[in-house]
Structures are given as C-alpha cells and as structure tokens.
C-alpha cells in the first residue's frame, strides 16, 4: 500500500487531478492525504473541496482553512460565506484534523519546530504517533476556543505556520512530510533535498508562482510517496 501526500493546491482543482494522474493513485489500494490549504489564491476553492471529498482524501487543516475558521482570511479578502461554512463544518466536526501519521512519519500542514515540541514536553522518543495525538488534542482545545499557555500550536513553531530556518530547527527524531514552504522560500534556504536529509520532506507546489505565470503549463506537481516505510519526493528541488 502506498500513501500519497500533497498540499497547498490553493483553489486549483487541476493540481489535484495532476497529482492523482501522475502518481497513478488507486483508491482501492492507496491512501491519499491532503496536508492543508485547499482554499484561496486560485480560481476555484469550492471545486478543490469537492474533488478532495470525491477522492476520499484524508484532509488536514492548513493556515488558510484556520484563517477562514477564525474569521481572519490569510489573503485579507472576504470569502464566500458558503465556502466559509463548509470549512467551519470540516474543522468543527473533526473531519479535518491537524496531524496524522504514516509508518511513524508525522504529517501536518507546516511542520513542527523544536520550540513547540519543547513547549509541549515532546521529545524524539515520543515518536510520530504520540506527537500527532498530542497535536490533535491541543487542536481540539484551540477549536473550542481554549488556547494552552505552554505553547501555541497556531504559533510560528507550530504545524500551521512553522517553516525550516536557522532560528527554529525541526522537531528532533521525527520524520515529517509538510507543505506550507513554497519553492521561492526553499531557494533561499537550500534545496528540498537538504531538508529531506534532516527528515523534513517539503511538498508545497507553489501555486502563487503558477498564477504569476498566468497558469501556463505545466501544472505544478510536488508530492511525497510513503511505501514500505520509505519516503520519496516527486517533483523535488
């Protein structure tokens, strides 16, 4: 069984179709995980939600979904109330979670930094599954409006906003597949292969850059495949 993980389609259903086609995804044997940010930036956010549901994808919350849920859209523009209502239902019902795991690999939208791990009392020995349990429990509290004093999962070191940099290393001892960090930032930090060596596999396809190119072909593709306990990046820099 393979697990295919992608993220940050940002209102462009064509990217979902491209990932499914390029990976030869077979719903009868494969697992499909979408790691957040289905909405905003692109041309059809509702179409992305429709297609993810049709494919039976396991979906995680990204910072753009969180912004819609909390009434603070990331792009600063009012969102279609019907779209906001769908996102609110996905988040409040628990259908879209904050974290999941595959073969002891942690999957979130943005990743977990060492600072948040320390704040939450997590260590390398806790492993991906326990880390995901802690994150999801904290997320349930945040959804209910109760934010912990010991380190916010929605802060810069948390799985909605963390990015690899020199100031906050990734959580030690846990392999992670994450989106949120697009190639123009990766170019400044070093190739995606550099971060994969540190156990952080980056799958953001950079939709904003595609929009800047007037959506000309090819459709951007970046995803990870986990099979037999090994993580492989497709479309990596």
On the 0-12 / 13-18 / 19+ scale of CB atoms within 10 A, 176 is buried
- The domain containing residue 199 runs over which residues? 3-234
Q: What is the mean pLDDT of residues 56-76?
A: 95
Q: What is the mean pLDDT of residues 17-38?
A: 97
Q: Which of 83, 28, 87, 42 is nearest to 60 (CA)?
A: 87
Contact 231, 198 (CB under 8 A): no
* pLDDT attached to residue 150: 47
Residue 225: which CATH number? 3.60.21.10
- Where are the extended beta strands (E) located within the chain? 3-6, 31-34, 58-59, 100-102, 105-107, 176-178, 200-202, 223-227, 230-234
Q: What is the mean pLDDT of residues 61-82?
A: 94
- At 236, is the pLDDT very low, low, confident or very high (cuts 50, 70, 90)? low
pTM exceeding the 0.85 threshold for the entire prediction: yes
Percent of the chain beyond pLDDT 90?
78
For 136-161, what is each residue's pLDDT tens digit? 999 999 998 866 544 588 888 999 99
Count structural domains, the chain: 1
- At 167, is the pLDDT very low, low, confident or very high (cuts 50, 70, 90)? confident
Of 4-8, 165-169, 183-187, highest mean pLDDT: 4-8
**Cα 147 from Cα 134, distance rounded (Å):** 14
């Amino acid at each position: 069984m393979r697990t295919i993980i992608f993220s940050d389609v940002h209102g462009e259903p064509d990217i979902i179709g491209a990932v499914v086609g390029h990976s030869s995804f077979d719903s009868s044997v494969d697992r499909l995980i979408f790691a957040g940010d289905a909405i905003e930036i692109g041309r059809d956010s509702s179409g992305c939600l429709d297609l993810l549901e049709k494919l039976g994808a396991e979906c995680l919350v990204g910072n753009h979904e969180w912004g819609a849920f909390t009434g603070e859209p990331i792009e600063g523009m009012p969102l279609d109330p019907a779209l906001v209502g769908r996102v609110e239902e996905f988040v409040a019902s628990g259908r879209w979670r904050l974290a999941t795991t595959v073969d002891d690999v942690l999957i979130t939208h943005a990743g977990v930094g060492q600072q948040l791990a320390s704040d939450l009392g997590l260590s390398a020995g806790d492993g991906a599954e326990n880390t995901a349990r802690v994150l999801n429990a904290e997320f349930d509290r945040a959804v209910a409006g109760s934010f912990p004093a010991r380190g916010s999962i929605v802060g810069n070191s948390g799985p909605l906003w963390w990015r690899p940099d020199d100031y906050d290393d990734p959580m030690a001892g846990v392999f992670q597949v994450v989106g949120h960090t697009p190639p123009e930032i990766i170019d400044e930090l070093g190739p995606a292969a550099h971060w994969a060596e540190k156990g952080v596999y980056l799958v953001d396809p950079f939709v904003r850059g595609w929009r800047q190119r007037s959506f000309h072909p090819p459709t951007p593709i970046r995803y990870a495949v986990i099979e037999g306990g090994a993580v492989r990046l497709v479309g990596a820099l």
